[in-house]
Structure 1
Amino acid sequence: MRRLVVLCAAVALSWGCGGEEEQPRAGGTTTIDDRTSLAFAQPAPNLSEEHLSRHRAGDAAFAAQFVPGPAPVNPGLGPLYNNNSCNGCHLRNGRGMPVMGVGPQRTQLLVRVSLPEGTPPHQNGAVPVPGLGTQIADQAVYGATPEASVTLSWEESSGTYDDGTAFSLRTPRIQITPSDGSALPSGMLTSLRLPPPVFGLGLLEAVELSTLRALEDPSDRNKDGISGRLNMVWDSQTGSLSPGRFGLKANSPNLFQQSADAYFNDMGISSTLNPEPDGTFELPRETLEAAVFYSQSLGVPARASLDDEEVRHGEELFQSLGCEACHRAALETGEYPVPEMAHQRIHPYTDLLLHDMGEGLADGRPDGIADGTEWRTTPLWGLGLTQTVLPYAGYLHDGRARTLEEAILWHGGEAERSKERFRKLSATDRASLVKFLGSL
């Protein structure tokens, strides 16, 4: 009985222990009991018939493969691009593979670039590189030439846990070769980006701003070593700065802008938000809105092994190591245009805030007010299904981590203390923590 009381106290945020939430449902009533390779691609089970129909239309929009215009179906691709569909990067709606692909595989990794100084016009702090812009387009339609080719290699380094067990970490190295043979600007900033999962985004958008503001502590007033803050980014619809919550550095304020920017930057397709110089655009607004609704209305896969003692012990360790200080177990959603996402108690394991992750993960590239060492806390729900949905998918912002252990060992900055506590755990305790993460 004493162990049960201690356990309940340790995981109260996510379990409730006798309260209204005996068994935590990751996405509240949007949770789906599916842990197959299609777990990230299911509509929320609480959608109305009308919204289920809209979701299916959005699914078709998300899967649509675009072609160069003029064409009767899905015109507008390119002339420069990275992929020809949303699904092309977000395979089965999960994380991407850490490869620079061509042909049927297309590009899985994107390369953001910018100059180290200058005054950008609403580029979220990123100064465009002449000839490359702020993202390298490594594909081109027939008759056009890609901006550059990118090759990826890995540099291995070794270390040991406190018990002497060896581990190896890898660091990505990229080589960019402009197609026109020009030299790259001195000091050009680069950032390798892996496509993140797209399920549960409507729930994250439905979390009230006041909730996230309450989690901020930029000056570390409570002296716990954690100083998260919201990014402030350019909102193209309002023409002003707004809090960001989407993207690896929270560089997008909402799903509509994130989707429109992806069509424009990744596929070269203009829209009402990113029109052509003459004001025209290629993507019908209804197609953009359908793709947005799809990402808003996806279900969240349920956790597994809730009654497994090792998983419960791993959850205790997750909290005692300090991981939950950033990876918040529970959040509440508020009012939302998609009512099925409103007023849900969810378990995304994120605070959607920027945190200093140390020099090991730094890209040195600003994004909004995020500096070169800051990244948004990655949601952990569905983490254990990453390899089920897409074998060889990577972890962290650039896919460098091949395993959950490697992902933890790369943590630095505000997470340095938690990382070191993990490194000093026994092999048994490390396995328990990883098993807990795998249950999410």
Structure 2
Amino acid sequence: MASKSLLLGLAATCATPFAVFAETPSPWAHLGDPHLSIVPRTAEEADRIARVTTPTDDFSAAQKFEERSAGAATVRVLSDSNAFSLPSGNVTFEDELQFKLGNGLFRKLWVSSPASTLASDGLGPLFNARSCQRCHIKDGRGHPPENEDDTAISMFLRVSIMDPDGVPDDARVAEIADYIATLPDPTYGTQLQDFAVQGHASEYTLGITYEEEIVTLADGTEVSLRHPTYTADNLGYGPLAAGAMLSPRVAPQMIGLGLLEAIPAADILAQADPEDLDGDGISGRPNVVWSVEYDQPMLGRFGLKAGNPTIMQQSAGAFAGDIGISNPLFPAGAGECTAKQALCQDAIHGNDAARGTEIDAEGMDLVTFYSRNLGVPARRDVNDPQVLRGKEVFYTTGCVSCHTPSYVTHRLDNQPEQSFQLIWPYTDLLLHDMGPGLADNRPEARATGREWRTPPLWGIGLTEQVSGHSYFLHDGRARSLLEAVLWHGGEAQPQRDAVVGMDTADREALLVFLESL
């Protein structure tokens, strides 16, 4: 079996998305990038890309262009909480206006219908937040509640039940191999909303309890990990269905999404090795999901389990589920309300003849442009000796088996900001079994209850500066980068154990490297 880096290079040589790059043909050879207007790579370009994206084994100095995490789209590092809120470094003056208009919609506080502000009504009736910015605070990470009185949180519970028939209820996804048949909760839908407009009951309040576990490292350092238990309390519409599966979600950072969307599907799929044929213990799998926008299966890239294929669909789903705002992809005026929530279904909403939906296609395009062009700050201290040592530890420990350092994006004829950029996101965008400790036990499309998408690491060292905390993982349980590493299990158990056994100097260097990203 060829190495994953070689497969990546071979995949990049194809003018059409996805190459035949392994001995066993992939069941996803038909997947491509219909959301992009692609200029095919030349053979010379493909060879150069394969060379520059092969993980290095020279840690004596930073690699060429390594400090520019997002290529020409990289932005300067601000010293305040606005570090994630700048437009792509290569955006034009004219498109910066589009970015600012999108930012206005991203920050807009929606109000309930009917209202005199017709362009801003339609909130709910059930919702988790009144704006996108209320969850993605300063375009950074949300956080779980600090205590039982903390209302400034950006976390909710997804919910679903297993389909008793074992067959997807949507015939469109039946063709997707390994698609796990689940259904929304018949009363509460696919996520629980903890707020409601006047005259309606919210669905629940989020309950969290923690138990602490002490992990002792080889040098005697003690680290406390908090094990969370989540409950849906004060249910407003009766009990959840029997067997309902709950999964916590904290809003992730927003930077670099357009560049992740512009990575060729071929280059992501080339790293998939679901049967671990190369024997490295890493079995990355693509999540394949249904595109509402393009009416076909696509590679999932966005969301904590890679449940959405495009920024547009991710944004549209958040408008509908988180804020209760109808849009062209999810046009229901009642948002997430189910048929069993009759009062909610019958409530006045903001769909009208003039707009059609509560946010129209033009508004969605602006929000998508904004989300696509939130700039990635430049790396810091790339040639610092401790950073270089930490990089060597990161690479040689095997962390790059999932956190793929770099890619070159598609050459695009209508998105110059994302076109043909050498980027350093440190993710393979694939699903990995992270073990029982991190399992939410709730499937999503092809993702099992133990699998999560590898999160990008760029910008991770600025989390506390931007978000005011250092909480990581899908539910914010880790209070530091070291805790986040120690929660790794499953496919990443060897790397986690290696960190536990490291001497103090190597462990500290590893953390300094991560802080530099």
TM-score, normalised via structure 2 length: 0.79
4+ residue runs over 6 A deviation? 13-19, 100-104
Partner of 2:192: 136
CA distance in structure 2 between the aligned counterparts of 1:271 and 1:378, rounded to whole angstroms: 27
Give the 3 Å change call, closer, same or farther, for CA 417–103 of structure 1 in structure 2. closer
Give the 3 Å change call, closer, same or farther, for CA 17–177 of structure 1 in structure 2. closer
Paired letter, 1:53: L
Q: How many Å apart are 1:42 and its aligned residue?
A: 0.3
Matched, 1:310 2:386: yes
Paired letter, 2:404: R
Conserved in 1, the CA contact under 8 Å of 2:66 and 2:379? no
Matched, 1:59 2:103: yes
Partner of 2:94: 50
Matched, 1:89 2:135: yes
CA distance in structure 1 between the aligned counterparts of 2:431 and 2:491, rounded to whole angstroms: 11
Greater shift, 159-168 or 288-297, is seen at: 159-168
Matched, 1:432 2:514: no
CA distance in structure 1 between the aligned counterparts of 2:510 and 2:192, rounded to whole angstroms: 38
Partner of 1:28: 71
CA distance in structure 2 between the aligned counterparts of 1:138 and 1:31, rounded to whole angstroms: 37
Paired letter, 1:63: R
Query: What does the per-residue CA deviation read over 1:273-319, in whole Å, with 9 as the maximum and x for residues that have no partner?
Result: 11127995211211111110001111110111112111110000001
Query: What does the per-residue CA deviation read over 1:187-209, in whole Å, with 9 as the maximum and x for residues that have no partner?
Result: 22110011001110000001011
List alignment gaps of at least 5 residues for structure 2: 1-53, 174-178, 335-350
CA distance in structure 2 between the aligned counterparts of 1:438 and 1:268, rounded to whole angstroms: 36
Give the 3 Å change call, closer, same or farther, for CA 268–181 of structure 1 in structure 2. closer
Matched, 1:211 2:267: yes
Give the 3 Å change call, closer, same or farther, for CA 14–115 of structure 1 in structure 2. farther
Partner of 2:432: 355
Give the 3 Å change call, closer, same or farther, for CA 121–289 of structure 1 in structure 2. farther
Aligned mate of 1:335, from 398, 411, 415: 411
The within-5 A match list for 1:268-417 is 268-276=324-332, 280-336=356-412, 337-417=414-494
Matched, 1:236 2:304: no
TM-score, normalised via structure 1 length: 0.92
Paired letter, 2:101: A
The within-5 A match list for 1:111-126 is 111-118=157-164, 119=167, 121-122=169-170, 125-126=181-182
Partner of 2:121: 75
Partner of 2:228: 172
Give the 3 Å change call, closer, same or farther, for CA 44–283 of structure 1 in structure 2. same
Greater shift, 122-131 or 384-393, is seen at: 122-131
CA distance in structure 1 between the aligned counterparts of 2:464 and 2:146, rounded to whole angstroms: 19
Partner of 2:22: none
Give the 3 Å change call, closer, same or farther, for CA 262–103 of structure 1 in structure 2. farther
CA distance in structure 1 between the aligned counterparts of 2:214 and 2:388, rounded to whole angstroms: 30
CA distance in structure 2 between the aligned counterparts of 1:276 and 1:102, rounded to whole angstroms: 33
Give the 3 Å change call, closer, same or farther, for CA 11–277 of structure 1 in structure 2. closer
CA distance in structure 2 between the aligned counterparts of 1:14 and 1:293, rounded to whole angstroms: 38
* Structure with greater proportional helix content: 1
CA distance in structure 2 between the aligned counterparts of 1:389 and 1:115, rounded to whole angstroms: 36
Greater shift, 310-319 or 29-38, is seen at: 29-38
Greater shift, 427-436 or 329-338, is seen at: 329-338
Identity %: 41
For residue 159 of structure 1, give the secondary structure of its aligned residue in structure 2: strand
Conserved in 2, the CA contact under 8 Å of 1:83 and 1:107? no
Matched, 1:38 2:38: no
Paired letter, 1:69: S
CA distance in structure 2 between the aligned counterparts of 1:338 and 1:15, rounded to whole angstroms: 34
Partner of 2:154: 108
Q: How many Å apart are 1:267 and its aligned residue?
A: 0.4
CA distance in structure 1 between the aligned counterparts of 2:254 and 2:147, rounded to whole angstroms: 21
Paired letter, 1:32: V
Q: How many Å apart are 1:164 and its aligned residue?
A: 2.5
CA distance in structure 2 between the aligned counterparts of 1:120 and 1:277, rounded to whole angstroms: 25
For residue 175 of structure 1, give the secondary structure of its aligned residue in structure 2: strand
Query: What does the per-residue CA deviation read over 1:383-426, in whole Å, with 9 as the maximum and x for residues that have no partner?
Result: 10000101125200010000000000000111000000011001
Paired letter, 1:26: S
Aligned-residue RMSD, C-alpha? 2.5
Give the 3 Å change call, closer, same or farther, for CA 277–22 of structure 1 in structure 2. closer
Paired letter, 2:239: A
Greater shift, 396-405 or 215-224, is seen at: 215-224
List alignment gaps of at least 5 residues for structure 1: 1-9
Conserved in 2, the CA contact under 8 Å of 1:126 and 1:134? no
For residue 350 of structure 1, give the secondary structure of its aligned residue in structure 2: coil
Query: What does the per-residue CA deviation read over 1:22-54, in whole Å, with 9 as the maximum and x for residues that have no partner?
Result: 543100011112142211000112111221111
Query: What does the per-residue CA deviation read over 1:207-235, in whole Å, with 9 as the maximum and x for residues that have no partner?
Result: 01111111111111111111112101121
CA distance in structure 1 between the aligned counterparts of 2:65 and 2:185, rounded to whole angstroms: 53
Q: How many Å apart are 1:13 and its aligned residue?
A: 7.7
Conserved in 2, the CA contact under 8 Å of 1:260 and 1:274? yes
Conserved in 2, the CA contact under 8 Å of 1:15 and 1:24? no
For residue 174 of structure 1, give the secondary structure of its aligned residue in structure 2: strand
Conserved in 2, the CA contact under 8 Å of 1:15 and 1:23? no
Paired letter, 1:93: D
CA distance in structure 2 between the aligned counterparts of 1:181 and 1:83, rounded to whole angstroms: 20
